[in-house]
Amino acid sequence: MSSTRPEPPAPADELGIADLVAVYQRESPTVDPQVETIVSTLSRVSRRMNVAYGRQLAVLGITSAEWEVLKALVIAGSPYRLGPGELAKRLGLTPAAMTHRIDRMVADGLVTRDRDESNRVRVIIELTEEGRDKWLELMRMAAVFEADLLQDVTPEERTVLSGMLGRMLRRIEQTQPDALGRTDDLD
């Protein structure tokens, strides 16, 4: 991949990365342009990817919040069941917010809510076949998008990029209080 490839045009109301970094340097001359270029590019890639994933979710008629629940249940493994308290904890939600989300998902047929047969006080949320099918379809759609996203990156570059991004992720998780999604210190 050539490092001299021209930057694609930004939307009319958005500065290109080079222009953005130039503004940062103009306003704060001590800014490292290389660091700002990397961070600004990562930020823009992340935003663009979130928009693309949001479109895919809309095609399937689910929200990103519902996707997070489906994903948590899949990650839990077969039989794809968790209690609402455990789901809320994994997603960083209050029990009330989790209940509201589950209510919508039960109504949409994505999950079921039943009493645990071994402990009638305990409620179990379980992924339905429809919920799993939607999760699998989104994974297929995401794989196509992601393959297209990385089409200009060689396998060797992917290995290097993966390692670099992994190191960046570990650094932020080790040094930032909200790295794992916790934002209670930001209120």
Strand order, beta sheet including 119-127: 81-82, 119-127, 111-116
Using alpha carbons, select from 30, 37, 2, 32 the residue that is nearest to residue 16: 37
Average pLDDT over residues 88-102: 90
Res 113 pLDDT > 70: yes
The dihedrals phi and psi of 29, each to the nearest 5 degrees, come to -60, -20
Q: Residue 98 has what pLDDT? A: 92
Q: Could you report the per-residue pLDDT of 32-67, keeping only the tens digit for each?
A: 999 999 999 999 999 999 999 999 999 999 999 999
Q: Could you report the per-residue pLDDT of 3-24, keeping only the tens digit for each?
A: 455 555 556 678 999 999 999 9
Q: Residue 11 has what pLDDT? A: 63
Q: Are 111 and 127 in contact (CB under 8 A)?
A: yes
